[in-house]
Chains A and B, each alone.
Chain A
C-alpha cells in the first residue's frame, strides 16, 4: 500500500477512463448511472479479489477454486434472505437491513470455514508446486460445485432485493440505483478496513513484509505459516461477502455464479499486480467501469474489452500496476 504514496500515476487511470467515456456515452445522465454502476461492480469484484491477490503475494498460492467461496457465499446469503423473507420484503429499511446483515455475515462465516478446509486439505500439501496447485484447486472447485448442487439442488434461486433497496434515487435526469450505492458503501468500507489493517497494525506489517520476503520474516522470528492460514480464510470470507452481494445484484443465484465472475477477478488481480491490494482496488474499478461503459456502447465487446484493457496494461507494466518488490 505504501507504493501508492509514491506512485500516483496508475490511480489517474480511473478518472481518465471516466472522462474519456463521457463524450462516448453522450448523455451526462446515462454517464453518471453507468459510472455508479461501474464503481459498484468494481468494488464488489474488489471485495472478491483482494483475498486472492494477498494469498498469492504472501505464499505464492493461486487458488483456482476461489470461485467456490464466491458461490457458497451467494447460496448461504440467499438461503438466509429467503428464510427471513418477510423482513426482506417489509417496507422498513431497518428490517431489511436486519435480514441483509445476518445473511451477509452467515455467508462470510461459511465461506471462511470452507476456506479453512480448502487450505488444510487441498492447498497445504502442494505449496510451491504451481502445476499441481492449479490442478488440485480446480479439482476442489469441481467438488465444491457438485456439493453445492447436492445441498441446494440444481435449480437456480431467484432473489429479490429488499424493498428499501429497490429502485433508484432520481436526481433530475439521473437514476442511481439504491442497491448499487449500498454496494459502493460496503466496498469502500472493506477497502478502508483492509487499508487500516495493512498499514496500521502489526499483522498488516507482517503481511506486507511477508509478501516481499517471507523467509526474512521467519528469520525475524515470526511463524508465517499461521499468518498464511489466517489470510487465506479472511480472503475466502471476503469472497463469500462478494458473492452474497453479487447474487443480490444479479438477483439470481446458480452454482455457476463463481465461474461467471472469476474471470473478471483474475483479470483484476493481474492488472493490479499480484500481491498488491492497492493495485487490486485500482484494477477492479477500471474493470468495473470498462465493463459498464462498453456494455452500454457495444454490449458484445464487454468481456473482450476487459481483456484488451489487461493486455494494454501489461504492455505498459508487465508486472501489473503496482508490482510488489519480490524476494
Chain B
C-alpha cells in the first residue's frame, strides 16, 4: 500500500525514512505542536516550497535542465488567484478561475519557451530563461493596474478560509486554510513521485544522461523536455496558487524575485538532485534557516549555504538524501 502511494520510490534508508516521516507528521500537527501565527506561517510556507522545489527538481534533477525562469511560473500561479480574488470578490468561483488561468498561462509559456529554446545548448537555454524571467519581473512591477505594481495585491479569501470562520470550538478558517495547503501540497508531491517513477520519468533520465543516445533510440528529446517543462511549470503554478490562498496578499518580492530562484536552487541541490525527497528536505532546511537562524548567525546563513551548495555540486550530487542513503549501504557492507 505504501509502495503504491510512493510509486515504488521508497526512501531505502532508515534515516531518510525517519526524517521524511518527521516532516510529514510534523507538518500535519504543526498548528498544535507549534501554536502561534508565525509558526503556522512558516509551516505553510514549507508546504508550498516543498512543492515548488520538487517541481524544480523534476527539471534539474531528473531532466537535466537548468531554468532560471521557474519562479516566473510560481508567480503566475500566485497572481492568477490574486487577480481573480481581487476582481471577482472573495468566492470559490474566483479561486477556480484564478487557478485555471494561472495553469493555462504557465503551461502555454512553458511550451513556448521550451520549443524555442530547448533546441539550443544547455547554456543558451539557461541564459534565455534568465532574460525572460527578468523581463517578466519588470513587467509585473510595471503593469500596476493589473498586478498592483511593487506593492502587489491585497484581497480577501473565501469566507471559510478566514480566521473569523469558526464552525466549532478550537477550529477556525485559518486552520482549514492550513490543512488545505498541507493536503494539496502532499497530493502534488505524491503525483510528482508518480510521474518521475513512471516510464516517462525513465525517458527523462535517459535524456539527461545522454541526449544523443536517447534521440538515436527514437525518443524525440525536444518533445519530452517540453512536456517536463510544462509539468514542472504547472506544479509551480499550483504552488503559487496555494501561497496566494494562504497569504491573502501577493507581491513581486514574495513570488517573483530572484532570491526565491536562488532559494529553490539551494533546496534542490543541497537536498539532493533527482530524488524528490531531497527537495522536501532542502525546503524544510532553507525555510527554517530563513526564519529562525537570523538571530543566531546573522545574515551569514546564506553564505554558508552557498558554500554547501558548491560542495554539493562537486562532491555530493545526491545531496543530503545521498548521504543518508549511503549510511545504510556502508553499514550493510560492514555486516
Contact = CB atoms under 8 A, between A and B. Distances in A.
Q: Do A and B bind each other?
A: yes
A62 B121 CA distance: 12
Contacts of A64: 126
B124 interface: yes
Interface in A89-130: 122, 125-126, 130
B186 to A, nearest CB: 29
B135 interface: yes
B123 A136 contact: no
B300 A146 contact: yes
Contact of B314 (A125, A134, A146, A154): A125
B306 interface: yes
B127 A131 contact: no
A131 B273 CA distance: 12
B126 A146 contact: no
A270 interface: yes
A227 B300 CA distance: 36
Contact of A149 (B66, B121, B139, B299): B299
A142 interface: yes
Interface residues on A, range: 20 to 34
A131 B265 CA distance: 13
B305 to A, nearest CB: 8
Q: Interface SS of chain A: helix, strand, loop or mixed? A: helix
B303 A146 contact: yes
Contact of A131 (B66, B135, B302): B66
A56 B127 CA distance: 13
Contact of A142 (B124, B130, B302, B314): B302
Contacts of A263: 130-131, 134
Interface in A277-319: 300, 303-304, 307, 310
Contacts of A262: 130
B291 interface: no
Interface in B118-153: 121-124, 126-128, 130-132, 134-135, 138-139, 142-143
A266 B131 contact: yes
A313 B132 CA distance: 16
A307 B132 contact: yes
Nearest to B303: A146
Contacts of B138: 300, 303-304
B299 A154 contact: yes
A135 B265 contact: yes
Contact of B121 (A130, A136, A143, A146): A130
Given A136-B314, A139-B306, A139-B309, A62 B269 contact: no
Q: Interface SS of chain B: helix, strand, loop or mixed? A: helix
Given A142-B262, A303-B134, A134 B306 contact: no
A81 to B, nearest CB: 26
A325 interface: no
A147 interface: yes
A304 B140 CA distance: 12
B201 interface: no
Contacts of A154: 299
B66 A304 contact: no
Nearest to B138: A303
A146 B310 contact: no
Contact of B309 (A131, A142, A149, A150): A142
15 contacts: A134-B66, A134-B126, A135-B66, A135-B309, A135-B313, A139-B313, A142-B262, A142-B302, A146-B300, A146-B303, A263-B131, A266-B127, A267-B131, A270-B124, A303-B138
Interface of B: 64, 66, 121-124, 126-128, 130-132, 134-135, 138-139, 142-143, 258, 262, 265-266, 269, 299-300, 302-303, 305-307, 309-310, 313-314
Given A131-B66, A146-B299, A266-B130, 19 more contacts: A56-B123, A64-B126, A122-B310, A126-B313, A134-B123, A134-B126, A139-B306, A139-B313, A143-B306, A143-B307, A146-B300, A146-B302, A146-B306, A259-B258, A262-B130, A266-B127, A303-B131, A304-B135, A307-B135
